[in-house]
Amino acid sequence: MEDQEFIVILKKYQELLWPEIKKKIINLNKYPKYCQLNDKYKEEQDFHLKIVSDYPQRKGKYLRPSLLLLTAQAMGVPIDKVLNTAAAMQISEDWILNHDDIEDDSPDRRGLPSLHKIYGNELAINAGDALHMIMWRVLFENFVGLDQKIAKRIIEEFYTMMSRTVLGQEIELKWARDNRFDLSDEDNYLVLESKTGYYTIAGPMRLGAIIAGATEKQLETIYRFGVLLGRSFQIVDDLLDLTSDYGGLKKIKGNDIYENKRTLMLIHLFRNAKGKDREKLIKILNKKRTKTETDVTYVIRLMEKYGSLDYGKKQAKKFAEMAKIIFKNELGFIQRQPYRGQIEVGIDFIVNRDH
């Protein structure tokens, strides 16, 4: 029931934010008079808008902007003061996913073929670049609606958050490319902190808190909370990749295995697989993206055999419980209801979701 409650909350903010995001994207081809395009190029401009709008129109869960909005409101900020930053947060997800899908050669996104599968790598990359530029433009609009110091602080936070996210992606890609077999849980947590702890949980909440005038100590506490909950979120996400079709939106199980991603479950399997099982595991992973469905199913069965899936579930639950303790004991400044209670429901949703 709590899972459904949080889905309703996410849907509410999606419906609130989408018109704002749509307005930002529609202005993509509006240039000053001195550099406007001739009307004969309308077809090219229309196509540009179409491809740039594709991922935003598919819409995601809106978890990140929702956490931003909930945190700000729980600290007493009117929602109209944070809509712009929340819109930038969601736009950032769409350009990152666009580029991620190309880097991972992912076949689908949100129930449809990935953008690069429809239009090719070159056009998909360019569409992601355009969304990236829109994101920064939206953030600069805060200098009109917010205190100048806060607007500047938001851009600084966005830069740090995005920079750390890109670093995490680079590390994950390199370890997959190098086919590393010597990684530890702590190595995996480094990637989770960068790509999920900060970008998915701590960053959005810190942005909402910055708009509310939070102290550095409060922001640091949010970060510690976000790192732990982010670990849980990503481990659950990686488990779902192995076991779920994401409510019918995902056609292929085990994408992370195809992509050689060093998930916590795969690292656990490296540590525990023995004899011929280990030999075959290494042989399969050496195939890189040419693995067959039979190969991937075999690896998943090895994870079941050696307890890797159960290990992931236990770790996800452990980190969620640690995050709950911080939320209860140290995040009392995020206090206004019903928003605090809705964030708390969101913690359980993150751990218990099935897609």
288 phi-psi bin (left φ>0, alpha ψ -120 to 50, beta other) = left
Q: What is the pLDDT of residue 243?
A: 87
Work out the average pLDDT over 84-108: 95
Work out the average pLDDT over 168-177: 94
Q: What is the pLDDT of residue 337?
A: 97
Give the closest residue to 133 by CA, choosing from 90, 85, 91, 99: 91
- Write the CATH number of the domain with boundaries 2-352: 1.10.600.10
Q: How far apart are CA 9 and CA 5, in angstroms?
A: 7
pLDDT digits (tens, 9 = 90+) for 178-199: 999 999 999 999 999 998 999 9
Q: Helix 293-305 crosses helix 264-272 at what angle (to 10 degrees)?
A: 70
Q: What is the pLDDT of residue 2?
A: 58
Mean pLDDT, rounded, of the chain: 94
Residue type, 39: D
Q: State percent of the chain over pLDDT 90.
A: 89
Work out the average pLDDT over 68-79: 98
Check whether 42 has a pLDDT greater than 70: yes
DSSP state letters, 311-323: HHHHHHHHHHHHH
Q: What is the pLDDT of residue 76?
A: 97
Residue-wise burial string across 225-243, b where 16 or more C-beta atoms lie within 10 A, e elsewhere: bbbbbbbbbbbbbbbbbbe
Helix/strand/coil for 112: strand
Check whether 146 has a pLDDT greater than 70: yes
Instruction: Give the range among 95-104, 138-147, 172-181, 288-297 with minimum mean pLDDT.
Output: 288-297
Q: Contacts for 271-276 with beta carbons within 8 Å, 24 or more apart?
A: 272/306, 272/307, 272/308, 273/302, 273/306
* Residues whose CB falls within 8 Å of the CB of residue 300, separated by 6 or more in sequence, listed in order: 242, 243, 253, 254, 257
Task: Using pLDDT thresholds of 50, 70 and 90, give the confidence band for residue 167.
Answer: very high
Q: What is the pLDDT of residue 263?
A: 96
Rg of the chain over all Cα atoms, to the nearest angstrom:
21
Q: How far apart are CA 268 and CA 266, in angstroms?
A: 5
Check whether 316 has a pLDDT greater than 60: yes
Task: Using pLDDT thresholds of 50, 70 and 90, give the confidence band for residue 352.
Answer: confident
pLDDT digits (tens, 9 = 90+) for 260-299: 999 999 999 999 999 999 999 999 999 877 889 999 999 9
